[in-house]
Structure 1
Amino acid sequence: MTGAAGQDGMGGHEEGNNVKVLVTGAAGFLGGYVVEELLARGYTVVGLDNHSKYGQPARTLPAHERWTSVVGDAADKDLLYELAADCDHFIANAALIGGVRYMKDLAYDILATNNRLVSAAAEVGMRRHGEKLRKVTYVSSSMVYEGHPGTGFREGNELEVAPPSTAYGFQKLAVEYYAKAAWSQYGLRYTIVRPFNCVGAGERHAPHVSTSSDEQQRMVRGHVIPDFVERALRRENPFRVLGDGQQYRTFTYARDMARGIVLAMESEAAFNEDFNLSGRHGCTIAELARFVWDRVNPGEPISIQYEQAFPNDVRIRKPDTRKASEVLGFVADTPLDVMVDEVVAWVRETEFAAADQ
């Protein structure tokens, strides 16, 4: 695994089983990678998830003596308080999220549900912080920079531009205000991490069906790489791309992202700080479509059909990551082909195994 125990960061492997971490959203796509990273570094982990998105964990974690999985609602403050007992760290990762389609269809649910989740995390953290709990690490989002017009946006710029226009982006900015308010009033220390375009195995078809028949046809999955992979495996040609294809994204391997989150959790220099966590490799969406097609269907020509973009589609998402590098020692260099190949293998296994037999 990337970021083996004790390789970089502070305290995980050396402290071993004496350090206990509570992770909410532990059965989700990113949460599963975070749990694996924590276990590899020697932590004892308690994971909470209500399985609301997929019905079952996105990726099944093997049995482990330092791993406890609990099925329940991360907005349940009494349950959360009980699970946080004797915890040194709390990674508040639970959120209602599902890509750009969810942002449009479930705007109110995203706002209301995620506010309940973050308020529960902050309140339980405040009640437990006089005990062993050192801080809460909050998982925010790159969408806090939704209103930024250019590239290279860095920590602090989210306060200098217009607030996000989407309910999801606005709520993720609210997560950061919750963190700062809990520190200001109650002294609960925090770290904020902002993932950028995380890529890996684990995203399945969520049970949500778009309320618009037109929208149902636009994306088969919530995020662009697994969506492109599934449609490439189905040999969709012409290959549909939303917008003009010139939107730019950087992509981050999920194992790298999990390593960055754990580094941020561990570091004493990260107290009351925020970090952009992003890979170094990026491309336009049109380039991505061709790249994915070539990985799945090498040598076959592709014709791209450009369609109307989703509302509020961010044109350029290319952050400045120097702070994470300088403070945490975090650099994400996994190339795009490794990320895409892992998603291809995952989609083949979960969606195409029966058809291939």
Structure 2
Amino acid sequence: MSIRSGIPTSAFWAGRPVVVTGGASFIGSHLADALVALGARVTVVDNLSSGLLENIADQVASGAITFHEADLRDAAATERVLAGADTVFHLAAAHGGRGYVDLHQAACAENLYLDGLVFRTALKSGVRKVVYASSGCIYPLHLQGDLSVDLLLTEDLAGPPYDADGMYGHAKLMGELTLRAMHQEYGLKAASCRYFTVYGPRGIENHAVIAMMARALIRQNPFEIWGDGTQVRNWTYVDDIVSGTILAGEHIDDGSAVNLGTTERITVLEAAHMICEMAGYQPEFAFRTDMPTGPVNRIASFERAADILGWQPGTLFAEGVRKTFDWYLAHRDPALLAQNLDQLLTERGVTPGGASTGDIAPDTVPAAV
């Protein structure tokens, strides 16, 4: 298969009506911005239980984005906001970093219902295509337990025996399989994008990179690291995730999945050292092996994305983490962070000032963004 350009095209998206579910959240808001820049007619739907309207406020005020505050677990609301859409980018989910997904299994299980309702409604409403935000968490855990193995996870490794990462990973896997079946049986065009450990501006503290920045900013000492620090990750900058997602919307129709991740091998401890150096801080480290850590060795192959999309990650971790840290310094108050850091590390829908971002308490009803 020939290599494509790897650059999303305005010729494809100009004037095209698209819906971004969860579009006021971290990744969703960046995706919505990029689609606006390509000329798409963008509608964002979000219930603001963890997404922030401020992430898209300027675009809404200018009329570039139409915003609907709605909960996609409500069938009538879902039918209303998907009406007339050509493409649906489905990012809405109960999701978060390791501190959230390991400790909120029941909430993550609600994604099974949420995804099924969105997919069914899209088909019923005549939506041409669904692009699904999946996850590296769909890969079998038994493959990711040995640091001595230089394994790159390829898309075909997601097959039986299924051994996904918790309820979050299982729900994402079922979402992928559902979309593939709907393409095969009903002709719905679809693509699944497997995101790997996304970070960047607008990120929140229950993800590892932002959590480490919070600890550095409040001068936590000892500086806590969950696990022994040897866990390997391929943190992927949000702009690269967005470009790959849009390219999947242009070029993948058959319901198949594609990895969006880097092949950089960065340990948690290496990341912590880099962030502390940026903060001008040299703490002692305390290793919390009693806290959620996830698999020890998770790195994606992006060979398929390069082949069919022409995509490859363009931002090295050292560059992306500096951009993210500069944003974080400009948007966080250390005093407010210190007041409720523990809650920020494991919950959704809580601001650094301690207030909920929406009317739904995230620890009682799972958020649909």
TM-score normalised by the chain length of structure 1: 0.84
- Per the alignment, residue 23 of structure 1 pairs with 20
> Which is worse superposed, 19-28 or 152-161?
152-161
1:4-19 to 2 correspondences below 5 Å: 8=5, 12-19=9-16
Asked if 1:303 corresponds to 2:274, the answer is no
Distance in 1 (CA, whole Å) between partners of 2:26 and 2:121 is 24
Distance in 2 (CA, whole Å) between partners of 1:312 and 1:234 is 22
Deviation by residue 1:200-241 (Cα, 9 ceiling, x = unmatched):
11134xxxxxxxxxxxxxxxx211100001111122233221
Match of 2:45 among 28, 43, 48: 48
Q: Could you tell me which amino acid in structure 2 is paired with residue 110 of structure 1?
A: C
Asked if 1:138 corresponds to 2:99, the answer is no
Distance change in 2, residues 1:121/1:247 (3 Å): same
Deviation by residue 1:235-276 (Cα, 9 ceiling, x = unmatched):
223322111111000011111111110010111x44322100
Distance change in 2, residues 1:277/1:270 (3 Å): farther
Distance in 1 (CA, whole Å) between partners of 2:311 and 2:199 is 17
Match of 1:348 among 305, 322, 329: 329
Give the Å deviation of 1:310.
3.4
Distance in 1 (CA, whole Å) between partners of 2:231 and 2:306 is 26
- Per the alignment, residue 288 of structure 1 pairs with 271
Q: What count of residue pairs does the alignment treat as equivalent?
A: 326
1:95-244 to 2 correspondences below 5 Å: 95-112=93-110, 114-129=111-126, 133-150=127-144, 151-204=151-204, 221-244=205-228
Match of 2:307 among 326, 336, 342: 326
Give the fraction of aligned pairs with identical amino acids, expressed as a percent: 25
Distance change in 2, residues 1:176/1:117 (3 Å): same
Q: Could you tell me which amino acid in structure 1 is paired with residue 77 of structure 2?
A: L
Q: Could you tell me which amino acid in structure 2 is paired with residue 327 of structure 1?
A: I
- Per the alignment, residue 211 of structure 1 pairs with none
Distance in 2 (CA, whole Å) between partners of 1:226 and 1:10 is 28
Distance in 1 (CA, whole Å) between partners of 2:282 and 2:50 is 36
Give the Å deviation of 1:120.
1.5
Distance change in 2, residues 1:312/1:343 (3 Å): closer
- What 5-or-longer segments of structure 2 have no aligned partner? 145-150, 337-369
Say which SS state the counterpart of residue 87 (structure 1) adopts. coil
Q: Could you tell me which amino acid in structure 1 is paired with residue 249 of structure 2?
A: M
Give the Å deviation of 1:185.
3.1
> Which is worse superposed, 117-126 or 269-278?
269-278
Distance in 2 (CA, whole Å) between partners of 1:10 and 1:312 is 35
**Which is bigger in relative contact order (C-alpha 8 A, separation at least 6)?**
2
- CA contact 2:227–2:293 (8 Å) conserved in 1: no
Give the Å deviation of 1:12.
4.0
- CA contact 1:12–1:19 (8 Å) conserved in 2: no
Distance in 2 (CA, whole Å) between partners of 1:50 and 1:285 is 32
Give the Å deviation of 1:13.
0.9
- What 5-or-longer segments of structure 1 have no aligned partner? 1-6, 205-220
Aligned-residue Cα RMSD (Å) equals 2.3
Give the Å deviation of 1:9.
5.5
> Which is worse superposed, 120-129 or 81-90?
81-90
Distance in 2 (CA, whole Å) between partners of 1:115 and 1:73 is 15
Distance in 2 (CA, whole Å) between partners of 1:336 and 1:165 is 24
Give the Å deviation of 1:119.
1.0
Distance change in 2, residues 1:336/1:312 (3 Å): closer
- Per the alignment, residue 4 of structure 1 pairs with none
TM-score normalised by the chain length of structure 2: 0.82
- Per the alignment, residue 72 of structure 2 pairs with 74
Say which SS state the counterpart of residue 155 (structure 2) adopts. coil
